[in-house]
Chain A
Amino acid sequence: MIKTDILIIGAGPTGLFAVFEAGLLQLKCHLIDALPQPGGQCAEIYPKKPIYDIPGFPEVLAGDLVDNLMEQIKPFQPGFTLGERAETIEKLEDGSFVVTTNKGTKHHAPIVAIAGGLGSFEPRKPQLENLAKYEDNGVAYMIKEPEIYRGKKVLIAGGGDSALDWSIFLTDVAEEVTLVHRRNEFRGALDSVEKVQQLKNEGKINLITPAEVVALKGENKLEKVTVKNTETSEEIDVEVDNFIPLFGLSPKLGPIANWGLEIEKNAIKVDNTYDYQTNIPGIYAIGDVNTYPGKLKLILCGFHEATLMCQSAYQKIFPDKKYVMKYTTVGGVTGFDGSKKEAPKAVVKAID
């Protein structure tokens, strides 16, 4: 069981900055995120896009903002459970919470701060009638263990980096690799596009474009997929063992929607007049995942919400302690790792 003071769900900019504000109050944080790396949307969707409305940064790349936040919170030694999705929450008798992920990792904390953004990123599934029937029975949306495709006939659909990269990789493992994409053009790193071209020329990748998968066939497991040429409307059946649609990720609020929190407009309602607490005392929601009158989904608003949440969390954890907010310029930053940053002392010296 992982124990911490504030359990933060979502490691995007808002969640990361909450670690800093909590650290100033000597509160420890642990973050859970469904993505394999911290940074949320900034790292997953648009790391190379500039952001112009972070106060004090005329321009900053989303990926750099994440790197800076990670550097800023390093002294406070946050824990991370990455690549796992927060699934269930249980309130214990003493008012604290146990949050369990889809992989069974348990986290115990008196305060839970949901900084889940748009939700957890789930693979986009193609709209095929009997898709569910073949899930884990020939159809997969991500490749976890490439070895299971050894000697198999694999058909990948998609036109982005992951479709290209896995097609390339699987030519060394699978018996047959077919890549289906709705256009002749692929959107990926130039290297990957050229490599696929080369493998196609060598006959190692069976490339079908412009086309899409329109039907799945098979008795108990996937046996064939029907591929339709989108120009000629001609349909062919391809014999396969595995079909892997790689159409990117889309955010879903997911299991959090079933935690008994008040939801409005696909977001969690919070008390914006005070501390961004939800209808369940001890559970807060900050950043893009919350809603209140006048809500703006801006990173800078998330930072503010995280700051007020931490103050409230402190008072909840230590109801009897007196505390006033201290400026970092005055108090400096003392990390849990023993590091100390502070303003240099002014020199007092007489001038002759």
Chain B
Amino acid sequence: MSDIKLKITDREGVLHEVDAPTDMNMNLMEVVRSYELAPEGTIGICGGMAMCASCQCYVLSDHQLPEKSDDEEAMLAEAFFVKDNSRLGCQIHITEDLDGLEVELAPAED
């Protein structure tokens, strides 16, 4: 298993190219937190249960992502700033298939 490369644009519009491990059972929200690309307390508030939308991001590359679960669908239906390419970072598991994934963090809710 090896690291993959991700391109993450933070809420200030700054692009970060980061390495993410595929063997640490991590999700995209946790990768963002581990690199502190968004202030603590503004992302991953529910801890990754798809119960808040603080890790919402827009998927910019055309990677094939796993289908949304009912929980994720429901949460995105109530989130703000939702677009067609919105996903919850906490529901995107880091796998080798995601090498080169490009995402942009959605704005924080007020």
* Interface residue A175 (Cβ < 8 Å from any Cβ of B): no
Are B39 and A181 closer than 8 Å at their CB atoms?
no
Q: Residues 34-53 of chain B: 1 if any A CB is under 8 Å from the residue's CB, otherwise 0?
A: 00000111100111010110
Which of A118, A124, A158, A159 contacts B109 (CB under 8 A)?
A124
Cβ–Cβ < 8 Å partners of A125 in chain B: 110
CA distance A266 to B38 in the complex (A): 12
Q: Residues 93-110 of chain B: 1 if any A CB is under 8 Å from the residue's CB, otherwise 0?
A: 000000000000000011
Q: A159-B78, A185-B73 are in contact. Are A118 and B40 (CB under 8 A)?
A: no
Cβ–Cβ < 8 Å partners of B77 in chain A: 159, 181-183, 185, 187
Cβ–Cβ < 8 Å partners of B82 in chain A: 182
* Interface residue A227 (Cβ < 8 Å from any Cβ of B): no
CA distance A248 to B46 in the complex (A): 13
> Distance (Å) between the CB of A347 and the closest chain B CB?
49
A250-283 residues with Cβ-Cβ distance < 8 A to B are: 250-251, 253, 265-267
Cβ–Cβ < 8 Å partners of B80 in chain A: 124, 126-127
Are B51 and A127 closer than 8 Å at their CB atoms?
no
Cβ–Cβ < 8 Å partners of A91 in chain B: none
Are A266 and B109 closer than 8 Å at their CB atoms?
no
Are B40 and A265 closer than 8 Å at their CB atoms?
yes
Are B46 and A183 closer than 8 Å at their CB atoms?
no
CA distance A116 to B42 in the complex (A): 16
Q: A126-B80, A127-B80, A266-B40 are in contact. Are A185 and B45 (CB under 8 A)?
A: no
CA distance A256 to B39 in the complex (A): 19
* Interface residue A160 (Cβ < 8 Å from any Cβ of B): yes
CA distance A237 to B93 in the complex (A): 42
The size of the chain A interface, using a CB distance under 8 A, is 26
The size of the chain B interface, using a CB distance under 8 A, is 20
Which of A118, A124, A160, A183 contacts B41 (CB under 8 A)?
A118
Cβ–Cβ < 8 Å partners of B52 in chain A: 250
* Interface residue A143 (Cβ < 8 Å from any Cβ of B): no
Are B78 and A247 closer than 8 Å at their CB atoms?
yes
Cβ–Cβ < 8 Å partners of B110 in chain A: 125, 127
Q: B-side binding surface: helix, strand, loop or mixed? A: loop
CA distance A305 to B41 in the complex (A): 20
- Among B51, B74, B78, the one with the most A-chain Cβ atoms within 10 Å of its Cβ is B78
* Interface residue A45 (Cβ < 8 Å from any Cβ of B): yes
CA distance A206 to B110 in the complex (A): 30
A146-199 residues with Cβ-Cβ distance < 8 A to B are: 158-160, 181-183, 185, 187
* Interface residue A46 (Cβ < 8 Å from any Cβ of B): yes
Cβ–Cβ < 8 Å partners of A265 in chain B: 39-41
Cβ–Cβ < 8 Å partners of A267 in chain B: 40-41
Cβ–Cβ < 8 Å partners of B40 in chain A: 265-267, 291
CA distance A160 to B71 in the complex (A): 12
CA distance A251 to B82 in the complex (A): 20
Are A159 and B45 closer than 8 Å at their CB atoms?
no
Are A45 and B46 closer than 8 Å at their CB atoms?
yes
Are B78 and A266 closer than 8 Å at their CB atoms?
no
A103-130 residues with Cβ-Cβ distance < 8 A to B are: 118, 124-127
A127 to chain B: closest residue by CB: B80
Q: Residues 66-93 of chain B: 1 if any A CB is under 8 Å from the residue's CB, otherwise 0?
A: 0000100110011011100000000000
Interface residues of chain B, those whose CB is within 8 Å of chain A, are 39-42, 45-47, 49, 51-52, 70, 73-74, 77-78, 80-82, 109-110
Of the A-B pairs whose beta carbons lie under 8 Å apart in the complex, a sample of 14, sorted by A's number, is: A46-B51, A125-B110, A126-B80, A181-B77, A182-B77, A182-B82, A183-B74, A187-B77, A248-B78, A250-B52, A253-B41, A265-B40, A267-B41, A297-B47
Q: Known pairs A124-B109, A266-B42; list 15 more (Cβ under 8 Å).
A: A45-B46, A46-B51, A118-B45, A127-B109, A159-B74, A159-B78, A160-B74, A182-B77, A185-B77, A187-B70, A187-B74, A250-B109, A265-B39, A265-B40, A267-B41
